[in-house]
Structure 1
Amino acid sequence: MRIVLTDPILTRFTDELTRGGADGHDWEFLADRPDSEVMRRLPAADVLVASRLTAPVAATAGRLRLVHVTGAGYDRIAMDALPPGTAVCNTFHHGPSIAEHVVMTTLMLSRRVPRADRLMREGTWESVAVDPGVSLGTTLAGRTVGVVGLGEIGRQVVRATTALGMRARAVRRDPRASLPSDLRMDRVDSEDGLDDLLAGSDVVVLTVPLSAATTGLIGAAQLARMRPHALLINVARGPLIEEDALFDALSGRRIGGAGLDVWWSHPKDGGGARGYTRPFHTLDNVVMTPHHSGHTQETFANRAHEIADNIGRLSKGEPLTNVVRGGR
């Protein structure tokens, strides 16, 4: 089969994708090429491996049998523009890495690391040992984490946080759906329980996909329900939160802090280097990272192996895994 790959990160894992060149397929690595060149090559391709696919490019996919997304989110894939018989699959493996990031960010905010780091760099030693007005940090044990969504990321966040002594609760679309036996949950509610989760959690972690239903999920009214010391960690998509409402809540100290790994725009989509319009970078109660919480060697090596396995299934006529849209 002819396979086109446009994802720049997975080009680092060509051996895993091609089985060291022994898979017998014809690969074209076009990560650094403009859309115009991809559009010239795609009509002859059987498989596209990509994190992004615009409608004009998708419209050139004449015989394409499979689009394999290189992550879990497929909101940047113009599926409506694909031929009717083209299957779409995704892949995961980022849960453990993102869960570690959630714990790291939560600890940084709980221990006021962003402020302490900035002051130390400026030459100021601020601690309770020299200033009785400085507030003490908090541990995670005994506190409650509220997870919005219980997919791979949400489940790994529960495992990581409860291992540190936190209590876990969650909301999900179907609260009665089965869960792995090792998850230690205090309660799981339907999406209607979001307000109660916000009011009862010390740390709120957003892990749900972006959709029309979840855009603006957290606005001023929802932030007002959170505890004054509570932390909001977003490792899903930026538009889940209303930007102005979040900045106002953080700058007004109406919530304790936020760990933001995802933003309202992205440089690849012409959104500039920052991804936000309000001055979050001026706040000491925010940890800011460039959507890299899942960017570990393990995440992408495992994704490459799974994508290669699925391409092998396609070539043998076997059922595909992680299908988000069926094909012929």
Structure 2
Amino acid sequence: MLTDPILTRFRDELTRNGGDGHDWQFLAGRPDDEVAGRLRDADVLVASRMTAGMAASAKALRLVHVTGAGVDRIAFGALAPGVAVCNTFHHGSSIAEHVVMVALMLSRRVRRADALLRQGRWESVAVDPAVPLGDTLAGRTVGVIGLGEIGTEVVRATTALGMHARAVRRTPGAPLPEGVRLDRIDGDDGLPALLAGSDVVVVTVPLSAATTGLIGARELALMRPDALLVNVARGPIVDEDALYDALAAGRIAGAALDVWWSHPKDGGGARGYTRPFDALDNVVMTPHHSGHTRTTFAGRAAEIAANIARLAEGRPLENVVRAGA
């Protein structure tokens, strides 16, 4: 059973890559109670979220395959002990390209220039000496918080443009993938130094009890006045009020926000925020779509189908978050 509306577009990939021969049910957009009712006889749920009610009704379930990396919307506590949970990735390079794009937009003041030109105002250093010059990324330092697939690909993309890279992660001594170059890697206690020493700070860690509110007023105060913050992880990792206040007061130069503090699917407002970020011209705002490319979802569909085939054949699953029986 699949409830994810994006992966519904990739039916061919799901059935072609080991998922053929199965009885697929596509229930994207259906109410939770209907999904819960249909789950009673399902072996596999492919979804981005699973409520406790869904889990309680899933009597035959063997696998929950999350359609992305984040598993914070799965009701683990309500799942039967024998149900495995897997996730999937394939979004690292797409999100890394987004990070480069928005960092350049902020550095070159693209959002403001675009808005003014649409109003008939030609704001350029060529005609107005008061207009500030933009910056390149080459030679500047990117600080990456978290060094999983996304963080690693951000390092690859930014260093290819000539940036210096540093990072913090829980296991600083763990080996790096081939070709990934960093000037410095610290443990979690190195976060203050990273914030103080980076021109562009990129948040890529998963949301957890430990990372909720990780970037608050104290952390933002450590950043340089000309520094940028890019959040492609989860909204609550950054304190909303503290970030808005820092941006509005000019204590940091700008922010690119692809993730927010609420989501329409969770009953939150369509905007995802309560402070008026939309009134600030030093913010680039996107609706959690930095990884939404065909490359990302075709790869995920193929991997999910292959994992379902492994389950059917009794072979070990890949990307296991929670082992089943």
Q: Could you state the TM-score of these two structures normalised by the residue count of structure 1? A: 0.98
2:127 & 2:21 partners in 1: Cα distance?
67
Alignment map for 1:31-180 (pairs within 5 Å): 31-180=28-177
Structure 1 contact 203–230 (Cα < 8 Å) conserved: yes
Q: Distance in 2 between matches of 1:97 and 1:56?
A: 34
Cα distance, 1:274 vs structure 2: 0.3
Please, which moves more after superposition, 138-147 or 113-122?
A: 113-122
Corresponding residue for residue 221 of structure 1: 218
Aligned with 1:30 (options 16, 21, 27) = 27
Q: Check 1:233–1:23 CA distance in 2 against 1; reply closer, same or farther (3 A cut).
A: same
| Counterparts of 2:114 and 2:270, CA distance in 1 | 23
Task: Decide which of 11, 16, 26 is 1:19's aligned counterpart.
Answer: 16
**Over residues 206-260 of structure 1, what are the superposed CA-to-partner deviations in whole Å (9 max), with x where a residue is unaligned?**
0000000000000000000000000000000000000010000001010010000
Aligned length: 325
CA displacement 1:265-300 (0-9 Å, x = unmatched): 001111111000000001110000000000000100
SS at match of 2:24: strand
Q: Is the 8 A contact 1:6 1:49 kept in 2?
A: yes
Could you tell me how far 1:74 is from its partner in structure 2? 0.4
- Normalised TM-score (structure 2): 0.99
Question: Is the partner of 2:150 in helix, strand or coil?
Answer: helix
The equivalent residue for 2:197 is: 200
Match of 1:9 in 2: 6
Note the C-alpha offset of 1:181.
Answer: 2.4
SS in 1 for 2:85: strand
Alignment-mate amino acid for residue 110 of structure 1: S
Which whole-Å CA distance do the structure 2 matches of 1:282 and 1:37 have between them? 40
The equivalent residue for 1:310 is 307
Alignment check: 8 A CA contact 2:17 2:302 kept: no
Give 2:315's aligned amino acid. Answer: E
Partner of 1:187: 184
CA RMSD of aligned residues (A): 1.0
Q: Which runs of 5+ in 2 are unaligned?
A: none
Asked if 1:250 is matched to 2:247, the reply is yes
CA drift at 1:176 = 0.5
2:270 paired with 1:240: no
C-alpha displacement of 1:43: 1.1
For residues 67-106 of structure 1, give each alpha carbon's deviation from its aligned partner in whole angstroms, at most 9, with x where no partner exists: 0000000000001101000000000000000000000000
Q: Is the 8 A contact 1:266 1:272 kept in 2?
A: yes
Aligned CA distance change for structure 1 residues 22 and 42 (closer, same or farther; 3 Å): closer
Q: Distance in 2 between matches of 1:260 and 1:83?
A: 36
Contact in 2 for aligned 1:14/1:20 (Cα 8 Å): no
Alpha-carbon separation, structure 2, partners of 1:133 and 1:56: 59
% identity of equivalent residues: 76
Shift in Å at residue 21 of structure 1?
Answer: 9.4
Inter-CA distance 22–51: structure 2 relative to 1 (3 Å threshold): closer
CA distance in 2, matches of 1:179, 1:163: 16
